[in-house]
């Protein structure tokens, strides 16, 4: 049962990542840094993916952010599973969607902070921006 859920999470994370990659600049104009995806997009991408996983599978993830060599990185965790669709911005990662229980890479990020992955906790401007991005990603998943 758990392996089946992990497979669904992996498939959904991969689908979500591909949808973001299909977006053009007009679809993320409210978040112009998305033109560098996956670089500098890990926080927003993680929060958006968390919403998608919640809606598709009822999975409540935790948002995690840590620092290494002066650079921050964010990903999601669900129980013992790491879910990261932007890890390949780092030279040692080659997979576009990382869904794993292996914490080797992510443990290199220190001072990890954990929080709720619901982006409705943000200020109203950020919520509007994230909702717009989310709608555009969904359009790529369900054209």
List the structure tokens of 104: 């080797």
Distance, CA of 60 to CA of 53 (rounded, Å)? 8
List the structure tokens of 35: 């033109």
List the structure tokens of 116: 């709720």
Evaluate if residue 76 carries a pLDDT over 80.
Answer: yes
Distance, CA of 63 to CA of 139 (rounded, Å)? 24
Mean pLDDT along residues 81-86: 97
Task: Indicate the number of domains in the chain.
Answer: 1
> 128 or 34, which is more confident?
128
Distance, CA of 22 to CA of 77 (rounded, Å)? 25
Q: DSSP letters of 70-100?
A: TEEEEEEEETTEEEESSGGGSTT---SSEEE
Range of the domain at 137: 1-141
Q: What is the pLDDT of residues 33-68, one digit of tens each?
A: 677 788 888 999 999 999 999 999 999 999 999 999
List the 98-100 sheet strands across, edge first. Answer: 98-100, 81-84, 71-78, 62-68, 110-116
């Amino acid at each position: 049962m758990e392996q089946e859920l992990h497979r669904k999470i992996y498939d959904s994370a991969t689908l979500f990542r591909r949808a973001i990659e299909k977006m053009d600049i007009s679809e993320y104009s409210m978040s112009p840094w998305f033109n560098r995806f996956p670089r500098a997009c890990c926080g927003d991408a993680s929060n958006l993916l968390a919403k998608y996983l919640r809606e598709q599978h009822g999975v409540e993830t935790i948002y995690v952010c840590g620092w290494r060599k002066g650079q921050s990185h964010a990903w999601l965790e669900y129980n013992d599973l790491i879910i990261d669709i932007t890890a390949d911005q780092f030279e040692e990662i080659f997979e576009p969607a990382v869904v794993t229980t292996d914490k080797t890479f992510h443990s290199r990020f220190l001072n990890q902070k954990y929080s709720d992955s619901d982006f409705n906790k943000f200020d109203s401007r950020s919520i509007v921006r994230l909702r717009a991005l989310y709608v555009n990603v969904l359009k790529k998943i369900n054209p």
